[in-house]
Amino acid sequence: MDLDLIDVHFDLRDLKPRELEEILEDPFGVRFLPDVEREDGESRYYALGRTVSGRQLFLCFWTDGKTTRVIAAREMTENEMRFYERRYAAMK
C-alpha cells in the first residue's frame, strides 16, 4: 500500500505517517463505507483504530487498492472511542 500524503488538510507534525499506516493496518480497526453517493464517484471510507503506542485516531480516506489517500485525520471523539472499544472487546 502506498500512502499518498500530498496536499493533506491536517498537520503532519501532529499525526505522523507511521501512525496513519498503523490505523489502516490495525487488525482490530473498524472501517465504514459511507452511504452517501458523491458526485465525483469517489468512495470515501472511514476508519477507527489504535496505533502501536495506543493513540486512538479517526481517518477519512479513499483507496484504489494500490494507493491510499488520507483526506482527514484526528483524535477519536468519546463516542467513537466507546464504539471502538465495544467492537474491540467483541473481536478479542
Q: What is the mean pLDDT of residues 46-64?
A: 92
**The pLDDT value given to residue 41:** 62
Per domain, the residue ranges of the chain are 2-30+41-73+83-91
* Burial (CB count <10 Å: 0-12, 13-18, 19+), residue 88: middle
Give percent of the chain above pLDDT 70.
Answer: 90
Average pLDDT, the chain: 87
Percent of the chain with pLDDT over 90: 45
Which of these ranges, 34-38, 46-50, 54-58, has the smallest mean pLDDT? 34-38
Give the mean pLDDT of 31-55.
Answer: 82
In the predicted structure, residue 32 carries a pLDDT above the cut 80:
yes
